[in-house]
Structure 1
Amino acid sequence: MRSFRFIHAADIHLDSPMRGLSEDVPGVAERLRLATREALTALIDAAIERAVDFVIIAGDVYDGDWRDYQTGVFFVRQMHRLASASIPVYLIHGNHDAQNQMTRSLSLPNNVYVFSHEDAETTVLEHLDVAIHGTSYAERAVTDNLVPGYPAPVAEHFNIGVLHTGLGGRGGHANYAPCSLDELTAKGYDYWALGHVHAAEVLAEHPHVVFSGNLQGRSIRETGAKSAYEVVVEDGRVAELHAIHCDVARWAESEVDIAAADDFNDVIAAMRRAIENGANAVEGRLLAVRLRLTGTTALHDQLAAAPERLLAEARAAAAGLGAAQVYVEKIKLATTPALDAATRRERQDALGEMQRLLDEAADDPDIRAMIEKDIRRLAERLPYEIREHADDVLLRAAIDGDTATLIDGAGDYLLSRLAADESAP
């Protein structure tokens, strides 16, 4: 068999909205909004620079129906760049760009082959002794196992299966086109180019079963490096597998231990160090970071009572880094107060009285019923996107009807405000 190389990519989600953005940092927010386009451009640059023989895209080029034609125009333009370099593209549609999801379409250049959504099919590259098998989604929610319908491997060829699958719901993704790893390895193909799961993972070797992950992280739920894979094949076997980091912005969560902090300035200094370390680690990319403050500290009440100042100070520290671009997405306060609930409960002052009232509220069925009724009504009015992706502890508790967590969280805030007010000069 001939030697060749190709790129396996998936889940581009072109022009997908970024979650967790604030207009308080307009320049950074705008760059994040363009990040999926820049990531695709980086992928095409890499394909041309490395002179690969072809590119495979395993579904979800788009994030759903386009708001206007510019999303499609941008993708077509990138495909023309590959056409000019004589690089063919083989792609399938996934759940986000399924046949019934899209009301708009544009003609693609002749170097792009889109697999049918009706049945799995095979295209053969005789000059490379390669057979590529794939099928597109006809609709968003594909609940059938598609693997049995994939054609048999072509003899004396390197066989590649292209599939958009949840593979059992890995990483919390919907289990579309469900199948098992054993089914894939038993199919007789040499490489499975998988999409849908956004974390890159090599599940098996010889035969290779690989999720390339998405090209660009889009929220704090998609942290770390994002990439495609360059696959080098020699003598009918995968000889090398290289990650190509295409992301131009990287999401990260950084833990900041402030147990040793004596005052607010020490907290700001600790956040600044974490931001600087994060910026250095992403090698010139834009860093979108969430800071998680931890540790047992007497400052807990003061910090809990001033969340807006905390975030503003962190963003000011990020703005002072000069050339490095950093977006502080959120501050999560996970510190522990120096005074625990038991100690507060014994105090004979306003703080102790508040703690005792909150303890009683947590066990009062009438109060719990009132909270559940009112909060449920508000949560049901929230847009689907917020309900689906909320990661704030209290908001998540409200959506899920977790009354105990709501009372604990609200109580902690009230106690912190009261303690901060009492300690203020």
Structure 2
Amino acid sequence: MNSTPTAYQDPVRPEVPLPRGAATGPSDVAAGPPDGTGEPRDVATDLRETRAEQVGSGPALPERRGARSGDRLYVLDLLRFGAAMMVVGFHLVAPSEVWGADTATLFTHTVTQFFRYGWIGVEFFFVISGFVICMSGWGRTLSEFFVSRVTRLMPMYVLAVLLTSAVVLLGPPPGNDLSVPQILANLTMVQSLLDQPSIDTVYWTLFVELKFYLLFAVVVAVGATYRRVLLFCAMWTVVALFAQATETRLLQVLVEPLYAPYFVVGVTLYLIHRFGPSLLLWATLGMSAILCAVSLTARVDGRQTHYAVALALFSAFLLIMVAIALGWFSWLRWRGLVTIGLLTYPVYLLHQRIGQLVIREFRDLGMAPWLLLGTIVIGVLLLAAALNVIYERPVARMLRDRLRADFARVRAEPTRR
């Protein structure tokens, strides 16, 4: 099985007051696979959000107290890291072929069996991404949304492609046969459209994420409101079901029917977090959760993994996400979780192919499997921390400043020739 991964009230009011003391908007907690750093939002942004919510006919829905405060949802950082470590275990613990021996013997049956379900960390990522991207895109212009996504994803991704390519090319045959076109195509994140294989199979999830960003960019372009986001969820669900039922290849490539309900679950949970629960939102969440449950059948093999276990794991995760949406984890504010969250993306990008290559090189040298595994995981975490400090954050900051300046120039000269 190739399964890898790349923030209450119902009555309507005519006015939406700015929350008392709200100096910033929601932090841009990443998604992920993907995303981690927060970008401060000022009062002007909050006011734009308030006005945007009131665009259209009828009064706006009031927002749950504190839903737009500057408080980061720290628990999402913890969840993202946990999902990433499940995927790490799926790639580095579960596969016996990587170790050249039965991993149930090397790491115990219980540990190995648990990490055989580590692929479900990808589904967890998609739900978190739906929540976070809706949160980070709310009240932003299309250019702001574009800049936030590019500067969050691309710097680390490009470096990961280059680092992984270098390690593979320096490694032993027959797995070191990368071509220049393959490396160049992978740098774009759309290598599958260019008929080139991914250098590291975890990259396929980033392409799925990218398509979600492009779809949600339509909502950002017209201005995210409760009504528009709900309509987006409904339309995406209908089109995804149609694409799956008719096997229309173009629609399948565009809307990802297998994974669309996970993103919709995340988006709906953010609406619950922002506006509070309602029958309509619970119904939308329930429908999407059912579609997720059905889609899990395509991800289990019936031999080493079983549907009942996968469903139990996803159900437990969904209950945690519902609790987060309802604000039950607002007490969790340990800032160390921010650091942990920042490691998720580079760890996700770097662990698989490099880690498996190291295992194959050292597994027969008499090193205890647990020691070798621990050394690799700690090494990847340290590498991720170092790259985040010395490369990812400064490069992202530089790109963000330059892109914002470029878009400001475009807005200032709309008829430039």
TM-score (norm 1): 0.26
Larger relative helix fraction:
2
Larger radius of gyration: 1
